[in-house]
Structure 1
C-alpha cells in the first residue's frame, strides 16, 4: 500500500478531485499557503498496482513535473472503498504486485551510490574476494559479495531502457564498465603485492586452488546464475521487496570471476584469464538481458505514450544486441562445457579399461588403488595430459607388460596421445 501526497497547482484542483472521485478513491485536501503556484495538497491511499495508472491519469489533467509528488509506504488502511480499489487492481500476479514506474526509477537511482563511493566499495570487494580466492575460503568470498555495490548499475540499465530514461541507462552502463575494470585491476594489483611479499607461495599452482580453478574454465551452468540473478533482481525491485540478498547473488556472478581474472594476470598467465574474463562479461550482459526482458514482461512502459513506439524499437534492438552477444559467449562456454564432457568420458573409459584388464586371470593379484587424470594448462579448453594409475600387487613381483597394455588401451580413447604413469605399490597381507 502507498500513501500519495500531491501538490495541486492553481486551477487544477477541480480536475484532480474529479479524477479521484471517478475512481472512487478516498482523499484528504488541505489548503497550501506557502506558494501562490499551489493551492492545496491532496493525500490519498492506493494499492501498489494502482499508483502508476492513477498518477498517469492525474498527470493528463495538466500536472507538470515541477509539481512534486511524494509516494510513501502505508502500513494499514482501514476503508471499504480502499478494499474495493485493491480488488479492482490486484489479481495476484507479479504485474499487479509491482510498484509504479515512478517509484521504480527512484528505486534504481537510490541503489546506485555516488561514483567515488562506488569505486571504493568495488575495490574493497575485489580485494576481499581476491584474498578469499587465494585462501581458498568460500566464507571470505561470500563476504566480498555482500559489500559489492553492483545491484544498482546492473538493474539501472534495464530500468532506464524500459521507462525511456536515457540518462539513467547511460549512467548505469558507465558504472558497469567502470566496476568491471576497477574490480579486475584492484584484484591484479593486490595479487601482485601478495605474491611479491611471499604471503602465498610464489610457485602456487592456481589450478590446485578449488575456488580459483572452478572459474578458470567456466561452463554453461554459469549462465543460469547470471540469468537467475537478473530476473530475481528485477522482481525484487519491481515488487518493492528487499534486494539485499539479490545484490549478493548478482555480485556472486561478477566479483569472484573478476578476482580470478586479476589473479591470473598477476601470475603472468593471461591465457588463463580468458575464461574468467569471459565469465564476467557474459554474466554482466546476462543480468542486463534478463532484467530487460522481465521488466518489459511485467508491464513497465514509458511515461509518454507517444514515445512508446520508439521505446519498443529501442528495447527490441537492445534485447537482440544483448541476445546475440550472450549467444556468442554462450557458444564459447559451450565449447568449454563440451571439453569437460569429453574429459569426463575419457576418465570413465580409462578407468573401465584399467578395471577390465585387472580382471584378467594373470592379473588377479593386482588391484587398482588410485586413478587420476591430470589436465594440461591450456586454459580454458583443458585436455587430458597425463594419467596416473596406482596399482597394488604382491611384493617382489612386477608385470612390465601390464604397463604397456594399459598405455595402449587408455590411449585408444584419445585423439591426442597422453602419458600414462603406472605406479606399483607392494601390498603385504598378514
Structure 2
C-alpha cells in the first residue's frame, strides 16, 4: 500500500476527493479543510494499493496538483486494516508487478546525479578492483562490484529513453562517462603509486590470472550476463525490491574492467587495455539495452491491463 498526502487549492479539493473516491483500490480518505499553510490550501490524505498508484498519481498531476499544490507518496510497511486489504483485493493486478513511473523517474534522477559522493564511490570501487585484478583476488573484485554505484545512471538512462526525458538522459550519460573517466584516471595514478611502492608489478598484471582474466577477455557470455543483470536490476527497481541491486551489482564486470584497463594503461599494455575497454562497453550496452526493453515491456503490459479493464 501507498500513502498519499496531498495539498490541494480549495477550488480543486472537491474534484480531487471525487477522483480518489472513484479510483479502485483507494481507502482511508481524510480531508482537512484549510489545514495547509505553505502552500495555502486543504490537506487530503488516502491510502492506495500500489497497483492503482500510478494511475491515481497521473490523474492528480493532470489536475496540476504538482504545480499548484503538493503530492507526497510514502510506502506503507504495515497496515492492519480490513479496508486496506479489500482495497488491495479490488485493485487489478499485483502490487509487485506495478510500476510507479513518477517514483522511478525521481529515484533514478537522484541516483544518476554527478556528485562528489558518486565520484568517490566509483573511484574507490575502481581502486579496490585494481588491487583485485593485480592480486588475482576474486573477493576484492566482488567487493568492488558491490561498492560501484554505476547501475544508478544506467537505470536512469534506460528510464529516460522509455519516458522520453532528455534531461535525465543527459544527466545519466554525463554521470556515467565522467564517473568512469575520473575513476580510471585516478586509478592510473594509484597504479603508478603502488608500483613505486613495489606493491604492483607488470609481471603480476601479465601473469596467469585464472580468477580475474575474464575482465579483459570479453565473449558472448559477457553480453548475456549483462543483459540478464540489466533485467534483474530493472525489475528490482520497479518492484521496490532495491535490496536485490547488490546481487545485480556483483553480476557484471563494469568496474573491474575499468580498473584493469587503468592498470594496464599505466604499464603500457595496450592489449589488456583494449580488451578491458571492450568488456566495459559490452557490459554497459547490455545493461542499457536490457533495462530499456524491460521497462518498455512493463509499460506495454500495464497499458494492456488498463485497456482490458476499461469500460
Same fold (TM over 0.5): yes
Residues 212 and 260 in structure 1, CA contact (< 8 A), matched pair in contact too: no
Q: CA RMSD in A?
A: 2.4
Q: Distance in 1 between matches of 2:207 and 2:147?
A: 27
Q: Distance in 2 between matches of 1:217 and 1:162?
A: 32
| Structure (1 or 2) with the larger CA radius of gyration | 1
Residues 8 and 67 in structure 1, CA contact (< 8 A), matched pair in contact too: yes
More helix by share: 2
SS at match of 2:67: coil
Q: Distance in 2 between matches of 1:226 and 1:182?
A: 23
Which position in structure 1 is the counterpart of 2:216?
Answer: 216
Distance 1:188 1:15, change over 3 A: same
Superposed counterparts of 1:205-354, under 5 Å: 206-243=206-243, 244-246=245-247, 248-249=249-250, 252-299=252-299
Superposed counterparts of 1:398-413, under 5 Å: none
Q: 1:81 offset after TM fit, Å?
A: 4.6
**Are 1:59 and 2:61 counterparts?**
yes
**Are 1:32 and 2:34 counterparts?**
yes
Q: 1:285 offset after TM fit, Å?
A: 1.4
Q: 1:53 offset after TM fit, Å?
A: 0.4
Superposed counterparts of 1:17-416, under 5 Å: 17-23=17-23, 25-26=26-27, 27-35=29-37, 38-92=40-94, 97-112=97-112, 114-204=114-204, 206-243=206-243, 244-246=245-247, 248-249=249-250, 252-299=252-299
Q: Distance in 1 between matches of 2:39 and 2:190?
A: 57
Q: Distance in 1 between matches of 2:117 and 2:203?
A: 36
Q: Distance in 2 between matches of 1:151 and 1:201?
A: 31
Q: TM-score w.r.t. structure 2 length?
A: 0.87
Q: Deviations over 1:8-58 (max 9, x none)?
A: 112011111111222353301112344486431111111111111012223
Q: Distance in 1 between matches of 2:4 and 2:219?
A: 48
Q: Distance in 1 between matches of 2:180 and 2:139?
A: 22
Paired residue total: 298
Q: Distance in 1 between matches of 2:41 and 2:158?
A: 38
Q: 1:168 offset after TM fit, Å?
A: 1.4
Q: Deviations over 1:317-366 (max 9, x none)?
A: xxxxxxxxxxxxxxxxxxxxxxxxxxxxxxxxxxxxxxxxxxxxxxxxxx
Q: Distance in 1 between matches of 2:64 and 2:154?
A: 34
Superposed counterparts of 1:3-18, under 5 Å: 3-18=3-18
Q: Distance in 1 between matches of 2:250 and 2:239?
A: 18
Contiguous gaps of at least 5 residues in structure 2: 302-311
Contiguous gaps of at least 5 residues in structure 1: 302-430
Distance 1:73 1:204, change over 3 A: closer
Q: Deviations over 1:207-233 (max 9, x none)?
A: 412244222322110012211121111
Q: Distance in 1 between matches of 2:280 and 2:38?
A: 54
Distance 1:200 1:18, change over 3 A: closer
Residues 153 and 175 in structure 2, CA contact (< 8 A), matched pair in contact too: yes
Residues 113 and 175 in structure 2, CA contact (< 8 A), matched pair in contact too: no
Q: Distance in 1 between matches of 2:149 and 2:232?
A: 16
SS at match of 1:240: coil
Residues 39 and 69 in structure 2, CA contact (< 8 A), matched pair in contact too: no
Distance 1:101 1:214, change over 3 A: closer
Which has the bigger relative contact order, CA under 8 A and spacing at least 6? 2
Residues 160 and 166 in structure 2, CA contact (< 8 A), matched pair in contact too: yes
Q: Distance in 2 between matches of 1:296 and 1:90?
A: 20
